[in-house]
Structure 1
Amino acid sequence: MNPDVLSTPGHLISLAARGFARLSEARLKPLGFGVGHLPVLVALRDGRASTQRDLARFARTEQPPMAQMLARMERDGLIERTPDPNDRRSSRITLTGSAEARLPDAVATLLQGNHEVLCDFTDEEVGQLVALLTRLIANLDRIAGVEAPPDLRRETDQTTR
């Protein structure tokens, strides 16, 4: 049997991810955000992370690209850095008032895009898709030897019961 590589889950998920990214970028740009900013902004808003290392782990990226993104975000007035009183080598990162004020619109924009894309899916199908993708990501992390962020570990634990 010679499966069609273009019909594999990996390829189809990649196409879907690129489609979501294009849609999200186009809709977030007028708000002054990029799709890559959102995990950082949400983590900072919710208090899930406050250092570059924690943000890189949360966003599931390496530290060098996170450092570059944070530098651009600081330049664009989205975040501020202050010295960490407990570790002179580290900085605490917080949202600026401007970013915090615009973040609800950005989140609403992303949720609206998801709603539009999934409009012909039932609530049960959406829940199943989320559960399956969460398990898939956990399997990918396990195979790659990556520790999942605490939030994803909780979601995976809940969806595998």
Structure 2
Amino acid sequence: MAFNRADSATYLASLLARSFSRALQERAHKLGFAPGQFPILLELWAEDGLTQKQLLDRLDIEQATMANTLARMERDGLVFRRKHPSDRRSQQIFLTERARGMEAAAKEAAVAAEQSLLAGFRRFEKELMLEYMRMALANAARSGDPC
């Protein structure tokens, strides 16, 4: 059986992920954050003061990647760290005023990026695509494959 890239979900998902990232990157750059920082920002907008371990658990990111991303975010004035009040080994990550102030614009940028890539989709097609993506991610989680 010949391998056809156009029929490969793995290949197409990789291209799609890069396309979404590029579409967000253009918009995010104007606001002062990178697409790789967006998931962390989303988690902290939902619950500020998480530890690095909590972020790792929620986002399934490699430890080294998380440490580097948080260091860049701290350098760029998006987050700051504070010692955890009850666990001396942990630090909590907090958003700066700058990062809190960009929440609405950043979420609008993400929606605009999504809309640009899903232009022409009917509502039910977008909903089906999202459902299929969630199903595939749930399968990956059950099988232990990295998401």
Which TM-score applies when normalising by structure 1? 0.85
Matched residue SS, 1:82: strand
Q: What corresponds to 1:23 in structure 2?
A: 23
Q: What corresponds to 2:12 in structure 1?
A: 12
Q: What corresponds to 1:89 in structure 2?
A: 89
Cα displacement string for residues 90-131 of structure 1 (whole angstroms, at most 9, x for unaligned residues): 011110001110121011011012112212111111111001
Distance 1:116 1:145 in 2: 30
Which residues of 2 match residues 1-150 of structure 1 at below 5 A?
A: 1-47=1-47, 50-144=50-144
Percentage of identical aligned residues = 33
Number of aligned positions between the proteins: 147
Matched residue SS, 2:55: helix
What is the root-mean-square deviation of aligned Cα atoms in Å?
Answer: 1.7
Structure 1: 5+ residue stretches without partners = 149-161
Distance 1:51 1:100 in 2: 18
Cα displacement string for residues 48-81 of structure 1 (whole angstroms, at most 9, x for unaligned residues): 7701011112222011210111111111110011
Structure scoring higher RCO (CA < 8 A, sep ≥ 6) equals 2
Per the TM alignment, residue 26 of structure 1 is displaced from its structure 2 partner at its CA by 1.5
Is 1:49–1:55's contact at 8 Å kept on the other side of the alignment? no
Is 1:21–1:35's contact at 8 Å kept on the other side of the alignment? yes
Is 2:48–2:93's contact at 8 Å kept on the other side of the alignment? no
Is 1:43–1:49's contact at 8 Å kept on the other side of the alignment? no
